Each structure stands twice: as C-alpha cells, then as structure tokens.
Amino acid sequence: MNFNTFQSTAAGQRQSEPDTLDFTTLRLTEEAGEVAGVVKRIARKQREDVSKTHMKKLKDEMGDVLHALSKLADAAGLSLDEIAKQSLRKQG
C-alpha cells in the first residue's frame, strides 16, 4: 500500500469526527502519547522481557498515529505521499 491509497482509505473512516486542523492536531498528539506510553512500558522492562504483545501494541499505536497524521494532512489539504517525499529529500 502507498501513502495515497492509505490517505484516501483513511479519509472515509471516522467521519463523525471533526476534520478541522485543531481537532486533528489534538488527535495526532493524543495518539503519539499512546505510542510513548507503550514505549515507556517497554523501557520499564529494560528490553529483557519485551513480549510479542508489547510489539503488537506498539505497532497498533503507530498505525493509529499514521491514521491521525493522514487525517491532519487532509484537514490541511496536503498529501501524505508528497509529505513523505519531501521529508526524504530534506533528510537526504
């Protein structure tokens, strides 16, 4: 799957939520906080006992961040694909 496909699919989901810049930014922040919470739990285990369950939860939460970022991009009239390409150019 590419970013354009992901973004167009995500656009059809969670339609009951406001699609404003402020709401979508707050949702992204909330989801990023959930990623941080999972990482904190993993760090607490000091990587000795990081289970598949921890990794599944991390993957799920990272997916939620991607979904929230996609909704924010929509609210801003931007393309995730173009954002990704620009980011790679900037980092390169």
The residue range of the domain holding 74 is 19-91
Distance (Å, whole) CA 85 – CA 72: 17
- Residue 29 forms part of a structural domain: yes
The total number of residues shown for the chain amounts to 92
- Residue 4 forms part of a structural domain: no
Mean pLDDT to the nearest integer, 65-81: 95
Distance (Å, whole) CA 3 – CA 78: 12
C-alpha pair distances (Å), 82 with each of 12, 13, 33, 69: 20, 21, 25, 13
- pLDDT tens-digit series, residues 78-91: 999 999 999 999 88
pTM (2 decimals)?
0.87
Total tally of structural domains belonging to the chain: 1
